[in-house]
Chain A
Amino acid sequence: MDVRVTRLEETPLLETWGDIDHNTCGSIESALKEAIDSGSDIVLLDLSQVTYIDSGGLSVLLTGVRLLRERGWLVVIAPNANVRRLLEIVGLLVDPTFRVYDDRQAVAAALVERVTT
Chain B
Amino acid sequence: MSSTATGELRPNPIIGMLEWFGDLGSFVWSVLRAAVTPPFQVAEFVRQLDEIGAKSFPLVALAGSAIGVVLALEAHSSLVRFGAKSLLPATVVFSIVTEMGPIITGLIVSGRVGAGIGAELAAMKVTEQIDAIEASAVDPEKLLAATRICACIISLPLLTLAASFFGVLFGWVATAFLEPITLVRFVSDGFKGASFKDFLPPTFKTCVYGMIIGTVASYQGMRAKGGAIGVGSAATTSVVLSSLFVILADVILVKVILLLFP
The yes or no verdict on A and B being binding partners is no
Interface residues of A (CB under 8 A from B): none
